[in-house]
Amino acid sequence: MILVVILGHAQENGQGNIHFGGYGRGSVYGGGKAYNIASAFSELSLRISAGKRAAFLESDIRFRTGVLFGQNDHKIVLRELYTGYKSQKLDIILGNQIVVWGRADGFNPTNNVSPQDYFFLSADPDDQRQSNFMFRLNYRPVSGMKIELIGIPFYKMSVYRFDLIQMGDFVSIGEDIIPEKKLTNGTLAVRIDFDYPAAGGSISWFNGYDPYHGYKITSIDQASGQPVVNLASVAYRKTTVGADFAVPAGNWIIRAEAAYNRTDNPENEMFIPNPDLSYVAGLETSMAGFAIVGQYIGKYTFDFSPLVLPDPGINAEMIDYESRLFNRKLFNQQEKTNHALSLTITRSFAHEILLAECTAYYNFTSEEWFIRPKLTWKISDALSAAAGGNYMKGKERTLFGYSSSILNGVFVELRVSF
């Protein structure tokens, strides 16, 4: 592992200032069934903050070299890079940004703005968040209230990487199909957020192509006598109306979040989910030094009708059935209702030198589950180490059943911050 260390640096010139920070790290993730070492890389994150009067610039530029899924991986990633104007009432921001909406813990039905790379493997799940080029306006008419307006001209798709997974001998994953880059295919989103000591909450509206996409059949090759189904991920457009809140109640915090997703033409296009209502309700508390967050995660699918298993001898109907069923698994719409629980427990030890955390999840509808423990050791103010693992399990032909061969494993990371 290679670590690059640069000392943080700040300068002031008149009314302007600039600050350099970031980290260098080495990270290894492996031990799964498909790859002994799925990911091994060194990375330098260079974060620059600059400002003069009301103008500002923020950036997180990452230089990465290593191996990912058996292939050399050398990248310069502009994770975030944006500029803007900031005043007491108004912010105007333009550039590559990561925006996270919602007050639930990790499962956020209202969080539709930024895509994710679910197959980027590291010790920090937040590394999977990806930026979008967007215009963002924040307006604060009164104390504790913020109106956020977002415009995204070009679509960016979340990364699933089913091309790495053994989907069967007669299934092939092709290139993504994304909307043409024009303004009519852009996204608009608005959020009104309230944040007060007694309670916090928001209402939001989203209209655009969903980063979390489906798959469609692009062709069926029968040259060999056995049909080979070619699938491609396809974006679909939706409108979402959502809300969330968090209310302290003694030693507890009550959190809830819900979103109604409306789609068009799901009955004719297998890559478009039915309209649904997604919701999360959770409790957060501290007990004997442990921080505990428990959540119920649910979904109700409108206009649901079960898929009818066709005659096994009819290839075309069976291919259509299996492809639609696969999409329903992606959308958590296998049944009219979907029910799951999550639990996250964290605790610090040795005067906050050690931080232990563990997240577990179980889906009662699909009978899939995962557990992710992690231990972080703060060796010094600048140096830290992390180790942990990820184990997921599902029945054959479930999403966790498909992806566990790649995503299961252990990870080790050494990081220097500056």
The whole-angstrom separation of Cα 75 and Cα 203 is: 37
Q: For the segment 246-289, what is each residue's pLDDT rounded down to a tens digit?
A: 999 999 999 999 999 999 999 999 999 999 999 999 999 999 99
Judge residue 347's burial from the number of C-beta atoms within 10 Å of its C-beta, 0-12 exposed, 13-18 middle, 19 or more buried: middle
Structure confidence at residue 4 (pLDDT): 37
pLDDT at 8 over 60: no
351 to each of 304, 348, 362, 383, 415, how far by Cα in Å? 53, 7, 33, 16, 20
Dihedral of CA 112/278/214/120: which sign?
Answer: positive
pLDDT at 87 over 90: yes
Structure confidence at residue 120 (pLDDT): 94
The whole-angstrom separation of Cα 97 and Cα 113 is: 10
Structure confidence at residue 58 (pLDDT): 97
Structure confidence at residue 6 (pLDDT): 37
Domain ranges of the chain: 9-417
Q: What percent of the chain has pLDDT over 90?
A: 86
pLDDT at 1 over 50: no
121 to each of 118, 225, 299, 417, how far by Cα in Å? 8, 39, 28, 20
Collapsed DSSP state (helix, strand, coil) of residue 239 = strand
Structure confidence at residue 10 (pLDDT): 52
Give 350's contacts (C-beta < 8 A, 6+ positions apart): none
Total residues found in the chain within this entry: 418
The whole-angstrom separation of Cα 14 and Cα 185 is: 44
Structure confidence at residue 11 (pLDDT): 55
CA 377, distance to chain mean position in Å, is 25
Scanning the structure block, which residue is given the tokens 């079960």?
306
Give 397's contacts (C-beta < 8 A, 6+ positions apart): none
Give the DSSP letter of residue 343.
Answer: E
Query: In this predicted structure, which of 5-9, 334-338, 386-390 has the lowest mean pLDDT?
Result: 5-9
Strands 55-68 and 337-349: unpaired
Q: What percent of the chain has pLDDT over 70?
A: 96
Secondary structure (DSSP) of 79-113: EEEEEEEE-SSEEEEEEEE-----SSSS--TT--S
**Banded pLDDT at 116 (limits 50, 70, 90):** very high
Give the DSSP letter of residue 122.
Answer: S
Structure confidence at residue 317 (pLDDT): 87
Secondary structure (DSSP) of 157-211: --B--GGGS---TTEEE---B---SSGGG-EEEEEEEEEETTEEEEEEEEEEE-S
CATH architecture of 9-417: Beta Barrel (2.40)
Q: For the segment 28-58, what is each residue's pLDDT rounded down to a tens digit?
A: 999 999 999 999 999 999 999 999 999 999 9
- 31 within 8 A of 410, measured Cβ to Cβ: yes
- 200 within 8 A of 245, measured Cβ to Cβ: yes
- 298 within 8 A of 107, measured Cβ to Cβ: no
Q: For the segment 182-225, what is each residue's pLDDT rounded down to a tens digit?
A: 999 999 999 999 999 999 999 999 999 999 999 999 998 877 77
- 115 within 8 A of 130, measured Cβ to Cβ: yes
Structure confidence at residue 140 (pLDDT): 98
Per DSSP (E only), the strands in 319-394 are 337-349, 354-363, 368-378, 383-393
Give 6's contacts (C-beta < 8 A, 6+ positions apart): 20, 22, 24, 44, 46, 418
Q: For the segment 229-255, what is each residue's pLDDT rounded down to a tens digit?
A: 999 999 999 999 999 999 999 999 999
Mean pLDDT of the chain: 93
Structure confidence at residue 172 (pLDDT): 87
Give the DSSP letter of residue 402.
Answer: H
Q: What is the mean pLDDT of residues 83-100?
A: 97
Structure confidence at residue 312 (pLDDT): 76
Collapsed DSSP state (helix, strand, coil) of residue 213 = coil
Q: What is the mean pLDDT of residues 92-106?
A: 96
